[in-house]
Amino acid sequence: MQGFINLFKPTDFTSHDCVAKLRGLLRLKRIGHGGTLDPAATGVLPIALGKATRLLQYLQPDKAYQATIRLGVVTATDDLEGEIISQTPGTNVTLEQVTWTLKQFIGKLSQIPPKYSAIQVQGKRLYDLARRGETIEVPARNVEVYQLEILEWRDGEYPEIDVAISCSAGTYIRAIARDLGTALATGGTLAALIRTQSAGFSLSNSLTFDELTAQLQQGTFSPIAPPAALQHLPLVTLSAPVAQKWCQGQKVAGDEQILINSPVQIYREDDKFLGIGHQEELEKVLSLIPDLVYEPM
């Protein structure tokens, strides 16, 4: 069994919990996921089965979310799972203020990740350091928010705003909630999060554990084939003799229409997916070089 699952991660499951449960359901040891989601978050969790785990690094990196931000509340984890540090009623905050302030979170940002996150600093996870009470400077990361749309506004003592966000990999929505609250001088935290897109997979056709279990019982389950998950990459088709050389690790003639040093899908002329390669120009000669041979000849 190999390929991908567009899994709907339920609340109170870590990404690792999902992998562990799938190993039991599918009776398959080699399973990986394509992007951590916090336990309280739900939504799209790309899952790779069998040797498709080798392709996780080539999936689309961009992601999209629907988030609820609560103003006036500051927590240790930048979401409602953490200890409340302070509460400042935001009754004076208006939708117009929020709309104007959110504009500064669109585009390329230098973002400081939450102290409770899986990022490693000096070889240690930030959440492990935070739980031990160790203070460490968290380095900023360059991320990009492509779109940020307000979906709904609810005023009150602690106003809430629902937003849709599309962004680059590595963007922390908790950090956006925290920094929005700072910019508004009320504090802010993430109240709810749904990942609506990840690695090219969408929430609309994600699969719950119950739906997967039913398909397995009925014998109708079929993983998503690698080519369907790699459609964002350009492809090169090789004749059978040339494909044989490529699968043996040899350089073959390149293609002028393909960018240099960018990953490409490699197919045999009968549409068999062979793997991932990239193109280099060596002494003014274009060569297609294998990076990952997925299906040998």
Report d(CA 142, CA 177) in Å as an integer: 17
- 126 pLDDT higher than 70: no
Classify domain 63-198 at the CATH superfamily level: Pseudouridine synthase (3.30.2350.10)
Q: Can you tell me the mean pLDDT for 245-272?
A: 90
Predicted pLDDT of residue 285: 86
Classify domain 3-60+200-225 at the CATH superfamily level: Pseudouridine synthase (3.30.2350.10)
Predicted pLDDT of residue 134: 59
The single-letter DSSP state of residue 294 is S
Higher pLDDT, 203 or 286: 203
Q: How much is the pTM?
A: 0.89
Q: Can you tell me the mean pLDDT for 192-211?
A: 96
- 4 pLDDT higher than 80: yes
Predicted pLDDT of residue 8: 98
φ and ψ of 12, to 5 deg: 70, 15
Q: Can you tell me the mean pLDDT for 35-61?
A: 94
- 111 pLDDT higher than 60: yes
**Do 228 and 6 contact (CB within 8 A), yes or no?**
no
pLDDT tens digits for 216-258? 999 999 999 999 999 999 999 999 999 999 999 999 988 888 8
- Residue 38 is a catalytic residue: yes
**What tokens appear for 225 in the block?**
């084939």
Q: Is there a common fold for 3-60+200-225 and 233-293?
A: no
**What tokens appear for 45 in the block?**
């969790």
Classify domain 233-293 at the CATH superfamily level: PUA domain (2.30.130.10)
Predicted pLDDT of residue 297: 63
**Do 67 and 163 contact (CB within 8 A), yes or no?**
yes
- 132 pLDDT higher than 90: no
Report d(CA 232, CA 255) in Å as an integer: 18
Predicted pLDDT of residue 30: 96
Write down the domain spans for the chain: 3-60+200-225, 63-198, 233-293
Q: What beta strand segments (E) does 155-187 contain?
A: 160-167
Predicted pLDDT of residue 113: 85
Considering 38, 78, 79, 179, which one is annotated as catalytic? 38
Instruction: Give the three-class secondary structure for 154.
Output: strand
Instruction: Give the three-class secondary structure for 188.
Output: strand
Predicted pLDDT of residue 1: 82
- Lowest mean pLDDT, pick from 9-18, 48-57, 125-134, 191-200: 125-134
Predicted pLDDT of residue 68: 98
The single-letter DSSP state of residue 139 is P
Question: pLDDT exceeding 90 applies to what percent of the chain?
Answer: 78
- 162 pLDDT higher than 70: yes
